[in-house]
Amino acid sequence: QKEVEQNSGPLSVPEGAIASLNCTYSDRVSQSFFWYRQYSGKSPELIMSIYSNGDKEDGRFTAQLNKASQYVSLLIRDSQPSDSATYLCAVIGGSNYKLTFGKGTLLTVNP
């Protein structure tokens, strides 16, 4: 079982729609959860972090964490073409404290 799993996509949504990105993780005692955005040819940049169960909102972005289901998601409201990128889910495990990334989901927002 892979440590951090994401649907590779591509996920295509129309401009103005809600984009939903999902991630599951295997380490039941994982502590910290991050969403990074990576534009083609660029390095990852942090857009959201979440540490406790529930929702965390920042502008158009909402991260959701369910530790019982080992599931974390990212919702992007009012999607814009500039949101087109690969979204990487990353988790810090409870045993080795190492940041482990998923393969990423490619999101395309169509004008």
User: Both tokens of residue 29?
Assistant: 């005692």
- Compare residues 2 and 14 and give the one whose CB is closer to other proteins: 2
User: Both tokens of residue 47?
Assistant: 């857009």
Report the chain's terminal Cα–Cα distance, integer Å: 37
Can residue 77 be called a binding residue for other proteins (CB under 8 A)? Answer: no
Can residue 46 be called a binding residue for other proteins (CB under 8 A)? Answer: yes
Element of type H or E holding 90: strand 85-92
Can residue 1 be called a binding residue for other proteins (CB under 8 A)? Answer: no
* Chain contacts with other proteins (rule: CB under 8 A): 4, 8, 31-32, 34, 42-46, 49, 51, 88, 90, 92, 96-104
